[in-house]
Amino acid sequence: MRISKFKGFMLALLFAVTLGAAANVQVTASAATYTTVSTKTVTKAAYHKKSTSGAIYNKAHNKRIATMKGYPNTTWYVTQQATLKHSNSKGIYYYVANKSGSVKGWIWHGYLKKGTAPFGLKYAKNAVALDYTTGKAVWSKSANTARPIASVSKLMTLYLVLDKIDNGSGKWTDIVKTNDSGLVAMGNSASCGGFKFYSNHKYTVKELYDAALLDSSNNAAIALGQWVSGSNAKFIKKMNAQAQSWNLDKASFVSASGLENSDLKAFGYSYGSANANMVSAKDVALIAQHLIKDYPQILTDGSVGSKTVNGQLCYNYNNMLQGRKYYQASLNVDGLKTGYTPLAGYCFVGTGQKAGKHRVITVVLHDENEFTETRSLMNYAYSLGMDA
């Protein structure tokens, strides 16, 4: 069968393009290949990243496993050394693995420096570990920068509730006004509520205290604030006055619950010009310190895993308590408060006391892994001393 000149030309062109494409693929694959010149076992030694540059690969160097940027505070353990050849150049590479052995591979030696990595938190934007006894921050990360703190704001609200009872101007059995339409609507809201105010029940201070502390009920916190001061506005002024009396210059409140005004507006409880409570991690820790010192019962109350209040389960989401996923017996965590809004991220104030050590208070703000990082932070704080 004869082929026309045009068809013959097109077939030849197609063959050339296909051959060229195949050739390009082979060149690319070849360019990515490293060959091993020599390998030897070395005495196990700790290293950490020199900068954010560099990555860990398999030995052939055609699969990237991890970047140094993604593991800013990881200690890598070197057990092998190899000379790898790439094109006309040779380099010394280390075989590394993290402590658990979950990430391992080969990296050019120049991306590492000898020694264990300095302690750090990967996810929390702001954090602090405070020695409860001395009030000293033993470790911090942007701890003096004010930011939204979500429901850990309730620590100040609960302090003022306990203060009113302590000074004799209120009792646990006092009935709190809970029939405001905004508070009822908030309790029925899927995103802002969770604890319902039923019309056939008269709620006591103690019931709302438990709901606010354990269930982080927003309407309970606001109702308690109104019980303390007579109105939401007067209570928020009291929150700010209390912060000022403690010289907390990085603490400003517009909400008794920690909800932002963008959410509170729909229920008639917005206050002030700012959208959110703005408090630094250090000042949050100091609020917790005052709360524990003046009213240590908060530790007993805050270590309760769950409690039924008027037929409603109030579940404590502190997952560092005994029996929970992140519990560590030696830390003896017995508090204190979780928090979350999309703006504030996951926030957590934790506290515990190792045997023979001072109590530690930790705060992580805008975290993604708040309990794991809090546990790491507590253990690191104790590694620095804090002896009783």
Q: Which residues are catalytic?
A: 151, 154, 216
Looking at the DSSP bridge assignments, the partners of residue 309 are 312
Residue 167 CB burial class (10 angstroms; 0-12, 13-18, ≥19): exposed
The residue among 250, 264, 14 whose CA lies nearest residue 149 is 250
User: Which H, E and C letters describe 281-330, residue by residue?
Assistant: HHHHHHHHHHHHHHCCHHHHHHCCCEEEECCEEEECCCCCCCCCCCCCHH
Phi and psi (nearest 5°) for 345? 75, -170
User: Rounded distance, CA 283 to CA 290, Å?
Assistant: 11
Residues in the chain: 388
User: Rounded distance, CA 289 to CA 359, Å?
Assistant: 10
- Provide DSSP, 168-201: TS--TTPBPP---HHHHHHHT-TTT--S---TT-
User: Rounded distance, CA 217 to CA 286, Å?
Assistant: 23
Residue 274 CB burial class (10 angstroms; 0-12, 13-18, ≥19): middle
Q: Which amino acid is at 362?
A: T
Task: Return the number of other C-beta atoms located less than 10 Å from residue 161's C-beta.
Answer: 25
Pairing of β 55-57 and β 64-67? antiparallel
Q: In a 3-state reduction of DSSP, which class is residue 358?
A: coil
User: Rounded distance, CA 304 to CA 122, Å?
Assistant: 30
Q: Are 37 and 90 in contact (CB under 8 A)?
A: yes
- Kindly list the distances between the CA atom of residue 218 and the CA atoms of 3, 129, 143, 221, 332, in Å, as whole numbers in the listed order: 83, 27, 26, 5, 28
